[in-house]
Copies of this chain bind each other. A is one copy, B any other.
Amino acid sequence: MWYKTKVTEQCGIDYPIIQAGMAGSTTPELVATVSEQGGLGTIGAGYMTPETLEQEILQVKTLTSKPFSVNLFVPEPFTYTDEDVTAMNDFLAPYRETLQLEKPTIGQHDPSTFDTLVNIVIQQQVPVCSFTFGIPDEQTIQRLKEAGIVLIGSATTVDEAKKVEVAGFDAVVAQGSEAGGHRATFDDTPKTSPLIGTMALIPQVVDHVSIPVIAAGGVMDGRGWVASHALGAQGVQIGTAFLTTHESQAKAVHKHAIFNSVETDVIVTHELSGKPARGISNAFIQHLRQEGPVILPYPIQNDLTKQIRATAGKLGKSAWMHMWSGQGVRLARDVDAATFFTQLIQNAQSQVEKFKV
Residues of A within 8 A of B (CB): 1-2, 157-159, 176-178, 194-204, 207-208, 215, 217-221, 223-224, 226-232, 262-264, 326-328, 330-331, 351-352, 354-357
Contacts and interface: CB of A to CB of B under 8 A. Distances in A.
Contact of A196 (B157, B178, B221, B355): B178
Contact of A200 (B178, B203, B229, B230): B178
Nearest to A1: B357
19 contacts: A1-B357, A158-B262, A159-B264, A178-B200, A194-B264, A195-B195, A196-B263, A196-B264, A196-B327, A199-B227, A200-B217, A200-B218, A204-B330, A208-B330, A223-B231, A227-B231, A229-B354, A229-B355, A356-B356
Given A196-B178, A197-B199, A327-B196, A204 B263 contact: yes
Contacts of A229: 354-355
Given A1-B357, A159-B262, A262-B158, A199 B226 contact: no
Contacts of A194: 263-264
A199 B196 contact: no
Given A230-B227, A230-B230, A178 B203 contact: no
A207 B262 CA distance: 13
Given A1-B357, A157-B264, A207-B330, 18 more contacts: A2-B354, A2-B357, A157-B262, A158-B262, A158-B330, A177-B177, A196-B263, A196-B264, A196-B327, A201-B263, A203-B224, A223-B231, A224-B231, A226-B227, A227-B227, A230-B230, A230-B355, A352-B355
B204 A217 contact: no
B199 A198 contact: yes
A157 B328 contact: no
B223 A232 contact: yes
A137 to B, nearest CB: 25
Given A158-B330, A226-B230, A220 B197 contact: no
B230 A203 contact: no
A224 to B, nearest CB: 6
Nearest to A328: B200
B351 A197 contact: no
Q: Say how many copies of this protein the assembly contains.
A: 2
B176 A203 contact: no
A322 to B, nearest CB: 20
A271 to B, nearest CB: 17
A284 to B, nearest CB: 21
Most B C-beta atoms less than 10 A away, residue of A176, A215, A221, A223: A223
A197 B224 contact: no
Q: Which of A224, A228, A264 has the most CB of B within 10 A?
A: A264
Contact of A351 (B157, B178, B230): B230
Contacts of A159: 262, 264
Contact of A203 (B196, B220, B355, B356): B220
Contacts of A352: 355
A223 B197 contact: no
Nearest to A201: B263
A204 B331 contact: yes
B226 A197 contact: no
Contacts of A199: 176, 178, 197-199, 215, 217-219, 224, 227-228, 328
B203 A177 contact: no
